[in-house]
Amino acid sequence: MARRGPLYSQHVPEPKTFTAYVDRLAGLLAVRERDPESVAAALDGEVSLELRRRVSLDIRRAQGAFPTPPRLARRLVADELRTKKTIYIDPALGCGDLLLAVAGQLALRPSVGETLRAWGRRLVGRDLDPEFARVARLRLALLAECRVGCRGHLSESRLEELLPQITVGDGRELKPTAATTVLLNPPFGRVAVEGVTWTGGLVSEAAVFSATVIENSARGTRFAGILPDVLRAGSSYAGWREHVSDRLQVSAVETVGQFDPWTDIDVFILRGRVARTRTEVAWWPVAPVAEKTVGDLFSVAVGAVVPHRDPLRGPFHPYVCAHDLPGAGEYCAGSRKRRSHHRVFGPPFVVVRRTSRPVGRGQRLRANLIRADTPVAVENHLIVLQPKDGKTKSCQRLIEVLTAPATTVWLDERIRCRHLTVGAIRAIPWPDD
């Protein structure tokens, strides 16, 4: 589960509400006769449900408290189970979903206590919030009882002894060795950073967290992380990709899709081994080389006007914003005007909405042909494509290409994050006419 580190502002989850749930799990472990369905729920998706019910979205966002869905956790772990001596580290422990997925495959001992002691030598997790470290230990104990098939009669103090490496702390301070596999679902929020060679300003916490973990890992350490798709495909994270390529011998980049039904972020899985040598990484599937791309025939740029922020100064221009556009077809600019000192675009041209999520099938891009008698100001929620030959016919053909099913399939592989990039639009293959 994504968790924020101590270098960032701290917000502890509402103690009465979430602690009450953790107390209930402790009670479940202590009772002699327990409901099997309650145990199964505690080991599956109940933690996520309880967090959503008991902790406000603002706090969960601030803390990055979004448990890994069990199916996604199992997918991440499935290819990372190594030797009987491998140590598994989760630097952003949360409620322990990734380590639970590992423990579900580890060997058993004759008793619950012996099993947990053996697991405790191989499972390492850190979280800044004591309640999350606590709930992870409780869930591991419940899993051990289920798998061994008997009661352990374990107190929480006993669990701390049996699972000594599941504890409170900043996971970025760990120093993984070649005998370890790092499993990571870092915070997905945004944070201002300074002094980082590959970026600056306001960036994804997942980029900073994952880069730090890889930097701190010894050569030979295995790494498997669930990361927001913008790191894989976003133009602003080219520096992060270069940084990772210099330090990680990447074995797989797997697109996943939406993190879970309640979290509107697409993610991918990154796998590799820390190598400290430069490797070439295919961050997106390599398509057949096209003789032409959209960028060969059209100039592509983001609209320059930032509504509600840019001052109303400069000459008046026809103004195009996403809200005014029809779902498809032509739009004659001029009914709305505004002052702007930013770049304007000479018609005819095509605009597509920057916000565009993968659809699997059908039409991903919504495109409009813009006509006007004078240059047009365009808001920054739109991407502008100007034909290099200046012809309306070229714009009409472009719309056919952009809205074709083949383009949707290509884009869904190339970029799954919601905000399209100029680079992705330029790279769309142009079919042979």
User: Does 195 fall in a domain?
Assistant: yes
189 shares a domain with 47: yes
Other beta carbons less than 10 A from residue 314's beta carbon: 14
User: Does 283 fall in a domain?
Assistant: no
Q: Which of 239, 274, 309 is the last residue of a domain?
A: 274
Residue 191 confidence (pLDDT): 86
190 shares a domain with 89: yes
Task: Residue 109: name the closest of 101, 117, 120 by CA.
Answer: 117
Q: Is the per-residue pLDDT at 210 higher than 90? A: yes
Confidence of residue 49 (pLDDT cuts 50, 70, 90): confident
Owning domain of residue 93: 15-274
Residue 12 confidence (pLDDT): 45
> For the domain that residue 366 is a member of, what is the CATH number?
3.90.220.20
Q: 342-354, pLDDT tens digit by residue?
A: 999 999 999 999 8
Residues 6+ apart with CB under 8 A from 29: 138, 141, 142, 145, 154
Q: pTM of the full predicted structure?
A: 0.79
User: Does 282 fall in a domain?
Assistant: no
331 shares a domain with 265: no
304 shares a domain with 255: no
Residue 184 confidence (pLDDT): 97
User: Does 286 fall in a domain?
Assistant: no
Residue 164 confidence (pLDDT): 97
Q: Check if the beta carbon of residue 266 is closer than 8 Å to that of residue 299.
A: no
19 shares a domain with 144: yes
User: Does 159 fall in a domain?
Assistant: yes
Average pLDDT for 290-314: 91
Average pLDDT for 176-187: 94
Average pLDDT for 62-87: 87
User: Does 9 fall in a domain?
Assistant: no
Average pLDDT for 147-157: 87
234 shares a domain with 158: yes
Residue 152 confidence (pLDDT): 73
Residue 1 confidence (pLDDT): 54
> For the domain that residue 91 is a member of, what is the CATH number?
3.40.50.150
User: Does 8 fall in a domain?
Assistant: no
Confidence of residue 286 (pLDDT cuts 50, 70, 90): low
309 shares a domain with 263: no
User: Does 288 fall in a domain?
Assistant: no
Q: 370-421, pLDDT tens digit by residue?
A: 999 999 999 999 999 999 999 999 999 999 999 998 899 888 888 887 788 8
Average pLDDT for 102-113: 95
Mean pLDDT of the chain: 89
Higher pLDDT, 350 or 261: 350
303 shares a domain with 252: no
Query: SS3 for 48?
Result: helix
Confidence of residue 241 (pLDDT cuts 50, 70, 90): very high
Q: Are strands 180-184 and 222-228 parallel, antiparallel or unpaired?
A: parallel
